[in-house]
Structure 1
Amino acid sequence: MNTLDIIVFFVYIVGIAVFGGSFFKKTKTSSSYTVGNNDIPGWVITMSIFATFVSSISYLALPGNAYQSNWNAFVFSLSLPIASYIAARFFVPLYRKVNSPSAYTFMEQRYGPWARVYVSFCYLLTQLMRIGTILYLLALTLNAIAGWDITTIIILTGLVVTLYSMLGGISAVLWTDAIQGIILIAGAVVCVGYILFSMPEGPSQVIQVALDNEKFGLGSFNLDLSQPTFWVVLVYGIFINLQNYGIDQNYVQRYMASKSDKEAQRSALMGGLLYVPISALFLFIGTALYAYYQSAATLPVELQGENMSDRVFPYFIVNVLPAGVSGLLVASIFAAGMSTISTSFNSSATVFLTDYYNKFVKKPVTDKQRMRVLYISSTVICVLGIAIAIAMINVKSALDAWWKLASIFSGGMLGLFLLAIFSRHKNSIGAIVGVIAGLMVILWLSLSNIFLGPESLGNSFHTYLTIVFGTVTIFLVGFLVSLIGKKKINVG
């Protein structure tokens, strides 16, 4: 990165921090910190939902995926309209009716305190790993681009995001998310335009090269459940996106910050729909890069390996884009990551206050004390997230193991929520049995290769289907046990 790129990048970082901190005067109460002052425009919440969904992982992984193979990952995006519609139709009105900053208050109303503690604790653990992972990936990217020290980048990024998210609360998070969403879209558009007009035979050459090499394929349409076919990715996308838009505190808090039920539903739906064309744009960057390095330039030998596709885009940013534009693209990558991290900071602090402090501290609590809890918990989450990110530099096997556990928690959360919403039976025993059965299925699918060998039945299904089978098991077992329990009570 040259001087101009560094200036562009730091202007962005400082500008976001100052802008986010400017909301401090509007965040004097715990309510305004967690759900705002009922004055956030609908388009801001929509853009914030979109920016929260697009992390720096997507910004780098989607182009790399399309460069290496085809557009199979776009099927995941095609599932979003279905998932976001279900969330807008059923989940959003429910949360607005419960009227709690936490998504997990509803679980206690249905099944008791254990359910609330279970899902909120799982959420906090997964958010810590999410923060650590994105901080690490951002630092890794900037280290590769600019050569800066990874640990220093992790610490500075974590502190900057914590500063403005703490000072400005949810209002700062929403507004900065919206700006960051616009920046990351602008960066992607600029990149595509530059590649198209750098082709020796003009923009149409990108399409021709892509068609000749079948780069626009969506995957196989057969019914093989052991491969990431069109249907496997579509079903997986529906479940994982329903988990995001339906039960994730990051999104639920935005629904609660909306001015009305209709605006909340519209933001949930439009925030999901917006990702569809933008993900296509990210994938097109990968396809265009493939055409570019087939026709207009040659990659260094060290980047031509089969597993090096994720590094092609960062290399292009640094070595091909003009001065200033490279800085904009790096800022775009950071925009994607920072929006996700700031959301996790604010939402995790909200969950800690609502689901633990307010729940278990019996003495009268003033709003000043609640604000102190929000600040302290945000600081603790920041420190833990930074520590996890630094630990990831060397402990990669532990990271892989943890993400398997995180997927187990996620599957259990979604199944329990679906059971609570769509089952009329308020049976805590049924819910507990359902969760245990679902977690056993997820464990079997996740670990059967380790304990039973590659020929085990669990390996007949692609890993994408783990959350699908686990969620369905929790719902069906929980529903049947609750139904049987009700019949026994009626007979008795």
Structure 2
Amino acid sequence: MKNLPILDISIILLYLLAMVLVGVYFARKNKSAEQFTKASGKIPGWAIGLSIYATFLSSNTFLGVPGKAFGGNWNAFVFSISMPFAAWIASKYFVPFYRSVGGISAYSHLEHRFGPWARTYAVICFLLTQLARMGSIFFGIALSLQALTGYSMSTVMIVMGISIIIYTVMGGMEAVIWTEVVQGVIKTLGALLIIYLIVDDMPGGISKIIDIGTTDNKFSLGSFSPNLTESTFWVVLFYGFFINLNNFGMDQNYVQRYHTASTEKEATKSVWLCVWLYVPASLLFFIIGVCLYAYYQVHPEFTDFIKSQVAAERLPSSATQAQISEMAASLKPADYGDKVMPHFMVNKIPVGLVGLIVSAILSAAMSTISSGMNASATVFTVDIFKRYFKPDLTDKQNLRTLHITTVIFGLMGMGTGLAMIGVKSLLDIWWELSGIFAGGMLGLFLLGMISRKAKNTEAFTATLIGIAVILWMTFSNFIPEQYEFLRSPFHKNMIIVVGTLTIFLAGIIITKLKGNKQAAIEA
């Protein structure tokens, strides 16, 4: 444990204060629900693109990706490689679609297409995904700051959560976007600074890092075998394509930004700007992971210290030193990868620079959480509260409801983060929960867009089939061994792929069969 010097603490507090003041600044313009949710549609495309980039580049990337690369290889980078394919579809079909329908909610059109149940189902899936996203980010930042400051995870989450809630509630979407523009720049500079500090302190420099990384196969993108039971290149590519398609096409965080642009062209430019920034930026964090791996290979005393810390955390407080040492010796890099970055920051980064890098990590967390809070509040107010409880909301009541629900979702996100304390891999838990909670809603959306003949009954039946498949894949590991043949043969990252395809294809097949039956009756 190490307490931060006054200079670093001052830098962090100044950053948090600056974010709150941004909210205060934009609060003077934030007088209507349209301004709160859409910034009146006057944000330039480059700023929207930077804000989407900042949302993608969360603390899950800042902390989880280096930990994943440290414990494994560059297999997870295939997620980033899939982004341009999803962006092409989004820019060609999704952006024009949402700009044409006009509504701020990403899900209101599902009601027009299939009925109220479809809209509600998509909203529930989205809100669960947001809670998982916010919770994993709260957990990630608390994990880092606990090591740096000595404060408890709950204290870190509360202080950060209050700051985020204040500037998000006061400033609305315009504050979220412009703070994310700044945060996107800070995060990228922070990543470059960390790489420089590791390389500068590494005996043998870059060549030594490359030698160790090559010897231990750290640069591998995974097996190219057509095996869907393990995290191969193809599994991550499929997962990345479908989750990014879900992000660009069904995630309120991104769809809401399409409406903040002045034109469709500006909205499309924002999608591509995000992609061309995120792909190389994410590569930086995989490079950080390999650099840390090489650094700790030549400094085994640091590795032993981290392993002892992790073992002590996982064992009961009554465990003896011998038991801790025994468990520490059995730990593999994947078991403590998320702990390495905070340890390096505590012990190797000079005073003053720690505050700057922590601010970069905070910005990574704050941008995604604030976006999630604003989008969740918007969806709940439009798709649940106004739809089912108070359809005649005045603009003043609408704005008040948005403020209240923003606070509620911020608090719920903190609660989810507290529940995640103790998970093994930050990136793994986020990927798994996002795949499950997405619930195949992308399949329902694609069914509505592509099949003009699919109606309410066919879509509802297909969705029930998709939910059953998702539940089976999620919980099949709990099936007793004597019925092992009933377990899912797929890797957990395939849940969103199989769930989406199940709903879409089931809807197409049921529609076709119903059409054939009707044609036979008429004949």
Tell me if both proteins adopt one fold, taking TM over 0.5 as the criterion.
yes
Q: Does 1:209 align with 2:209?
A: no
- After superposition, the Cα gap between the structure-2 partners of 1:387 and 1:73, relative to the gap in structure 1 and judged at 3 Å, is closer
Paired residues, number: 489
Larger mean Cα displacement after TM superposition, 160-169 or 85-94: 85-94
- After superposition, the Cα gap between the structure-2 partners of 1:89 and 1:482, relative to the gap in structure 1 and judged at 3 Å, is same
Contact kept, 8 Å, 2:128 with 2:437, in 1: the verdict is no
Matches within 5 A, 1:327-346: 327-346=355-374
Which amino acid is the alignment partner of residue 501 of structure 2? V
The two structures have a TM-score, normalised by structure 1, of: 0.94
Match of 1:13 in 2: 16
Q: Does 1:124 align with 2:127?
A: yes
List per-residue Cα deviations over 1:266-308 (Å, max 9, x = no partner). 1112212321111110000011112222346741413254111
Q: Does 1:460 align with 2:489?
A: yes
List per-residue Cα deviations over 1:66-91 (Å, max 9, x = no partner). 12221111111111111111111111
- Tell me the secondary structure at the aligned position of residue 227 of structure 1: coil
List per-residue Cα deviations over 1:298-334 (Å, max 9, x = no partner). 4141325411121111100110011111111211111
Contact kept, 8 Å, 1:429 with 1:482, in 2: the verdict is no
Matched residues, percent identical? 44
Match of 1:482 in 2: 511
Which amino acid is the alignment partner of residue 417 of structure 1? F
Match of 1:471 in 2: 500
Larger mean Cα displacement after TM superposition, 289-298 or 415-424: 289-298
Q: CA deviation at 1:379?
A: 2.1
Match of 1:290 among 284, 289, 293: 293
Match of 2:146 in 1: 143
State the distance in 1 between where 2:389 and 2:232 align. 50
Which amino acid is the alignment partner of residue 110 of structure 2? M
State the distance in 2 between where 1:260 and 1:362 align. 32
- CA RMSD between the two structures: 2.3
Matches within 5 A, 1:39-438: 39-295=42-298, 298-304=301-307, 305-306=331-332, 307-361=335-389, 364-393=392-421, 407-438=435-466
Larger mean Cα displacement after TM superposition, 457-466 or 370-379: 457-466
Which amino acid is the alignment partner of residue 60 of structure 1? L
Match of 1:3 in 2: 6
Q: CA deviation at 1:420?
A: 1.2
Contact kept, 8 Å, 2:243 with 2:435, in 1: the verdict is no
- After superposition, the Cα gap between the structure-2 partners of 1:401 and 1:177, relative to the gap in structure 1 and judged at 3 Å, is closer
Q: CA deviation at 1:359?
A: 2.2
State the distance in 1 between where 2:237 and 2:80 align. 8
- Tell me the secondary structure at the aligned position of residue 272 of structure 1: helix
Which amino acid is the alignment partner of residue 503 of structure 2? I
State the distance in 2 between where 1:46 and 1:401 align. 27
Match of 2:326 in 1: none
- Tell me the secondary structure at the aligned position of residue 439 of structure 2: helix
Contact kept, 8 Å, 1:408 with 1:442, in 2: the verdict is yes
State the distance in 1 between where 2:397 and 2:99 align. 26
Gaps of 5+ in 1: none
Q: CA deviation at 1:19?
A: 1.6
List per-residue Cα deviations over 1:147-183 (Å, max 9, x = no partner). 1122222222111101101111000011111111111
Larger mean Cα displacement after TM superposition, 372-381 or 29-38: 372-381
State the distance in 2 between where 1:122 and 1:166 align. 23
Contact kept, 8 Å, 1:404 with 1:446, in 2: the verdict is no
Contact kept, 8 Å, 2:21 with 2:167, in 1: the verdict is yes
Larger mean Cα displacement after TM superposition, 145-154 or 132-141: 132-141
- Tell me the secondary structure at the aligned position of residue 230 of structure 2: coil
State the distance in 2 between where 1:383 and 1:63 align. 28
Which amino acid is the alignment partner of residue 239 of structure 1? F
State the distance in 1 between where 2:69 and 2:433 align. 28
State the distance in 1 between where 2:125 and 2:385 align. 17
Larger mean Cα displacement after TM superposition, 28-37 or 303-312: 303-312
- After superposition, the Cα gap between the structure-2 partners of 1:99 and 1:291, relative to the gap in structure 1 and judged at 3 Å, is same
- After superposition, the Cα gap between the structure-2 partners of 1:66 and 1:372, relative to the gap in structure 1 and judged at 3 Å, is same
- Tell me the secondary structure at the aligned position of residue 256 of structure 2: helix
Contact kept, 8 Å, 1:21 with 1:172, in 2: the verdict is no
Gaps of 5+ in 2: 308-330
List per-residue Cα deviations over 1:190-212 (Å, max 9, x = no partner). 11112222233333332233223
State the distance in 1 between where 2:148 and 2:469 align. 42
The two structures have a TM-score, normalised by structure 2, of: 0.88
Q: CA deviation at 1:376?
A: 1.6
Match of 2:321 in 1: none
Q: CA deviation at 1:339?
A: 0.8
